[in-house]
Amino acid sequence: MDDRMKQAVGLALAEVFETMFFTLLEPMDAIPSRAEWPAGKDFVAAEISYVGGGKSGELRFYFPLTLARSIAANFLGEPEGELSEGQIVDTVRETVNMAVGSMLGRIDPAGECALAIPQARMVGDFTPEAIIADLGLYVFRTSFGYLWLVYDMVTA
Amino acid sequence: MFNILVVDDSETMRAAIRKVVGMSGVPIGEFLEAGNGKEALAVLEESWVDVILSDINMPEMNGIEFLKRIKAEEVYSNIPVIIITTEASQARMDEAEALGASGYVKKPFLPETIKMILTDVLESAYAQRMKEIPAAPPVEEADEDMDF
């Protein structure tokens, strides 16, 4: 991922996390070592794509369930224990929508790119091993574990 | 009291907006919800709505198409529409404004932003409605000497 894109994604995600969920997000300069990876394999995976103006891209996010649950609780003002799986998944889906929409506002001021409808789902067997070799891998540290992002970008 | 229709495909976003609007101090009558433009048109057929808060990026009928449809219908065309969306490019905002949107809020938003824009839009809509009501004929002063 080039530096401009990296910065745009990082700023957009940080803005969403801080404004909507009161959660700090720190971009990592390097991929964390395996020893730092989470023990749990419960994640919420989300995907969103955009296309237009000679550009297209697909972003895949992997939220640890602890992080997803925490942001959903902050967003809805409900105790974590009372959240349904649907509310958690929908919060992640909306987070991805807001973050990538905000990113496009930065990299595509002419509004040529159209955002697709995001998708999100629970996954019970995810390990970062599956994406570690991806060139567009980007990792953020939060108080609730690492947020993993793979950004496949195509520019015509 | 104002009836508010929120159109967003995310149920959690609708719940969050409901909470923000509830805390805004704006007197709310009914809080109505729809998951896309098509569902919102069905709500409008059944209920009186004073203001609409709509997302853009939705399945079935997106917010821009919905805006076009209601501005083309005389019965709905005066309902103010505030766009609340992630699509934050100037071009998209200009398009919404040209189609008749009364305001534009970019997600992520602060609760204060929703409160401010909702209050402004409802105040101008109310003032406009007052202007459109024909003035009542002047009341003649009673003749003091009139004998009943």
Domain that includes residue A126, residue range: 3-30+40-155
pLDDT at position B141 is 61
Domain CATH number, residue A15? 3.40.1550.10
**Within a domain: A35:** no
**Within a domain: A44:** yes
Count how many domains chain A has.
Answer: 1
**Within a domain: A138:** yes
Handedness of CA B49, B52, B58, B64 (dihedral sign): positive
Check pLDDT > 80 for residue B3.
yes
Say if CB A154 and CB A57 are below 8 A apart.
yes
Q: What is the complex's ipTM, to 2 decimals?
A: 0.80
pLDDT digits (tens, 9 = 90+) for B80-101: 999 998 876 777 788 888 999 9
State whether residue A30 is helix, strand or coil: coil
**Within a domain: A10:** yes
Integer Cα distance of B133 and B118 in angstroms = 23
**Within a domain: A101:** yes
pLDDT digits (tens, 9 = 90+) for A110-148: 888 888 999 999 999 888 888 888 888 899 999 999 999
Nearest residue of B to residue A13 by CA position? B108
Integer Cα distance of B74 and B51 in angstroms = 15
Give chain B's domains with CATH numbers.
2-126 (3.40.50.2300)
**Within a domain: A127:** yes
Which residues in chain A are closer than 8 Å to B91, comparing Cβ atoms?
109-112
**Within a domain: A81:** yes
Give Cα A5 to chain centroid, integer Å. Answer: 14
**Within a domain: A113:** yes
Check pLDDT > 80 for residue B147.
no
Nearest beta carbon to residue B13 from set A77, A94, A100? A94
Predicted TM-score (pTM) of the model is 0.84
B19: nearest Cα among B49, B44, B53: B53
Mutate to test the interface with A, among B107, B113, B114 (most CBs of A within 10 A): B107
Is any Cβ of chain B less than 8 angstroms from the Cβ of A122?
no
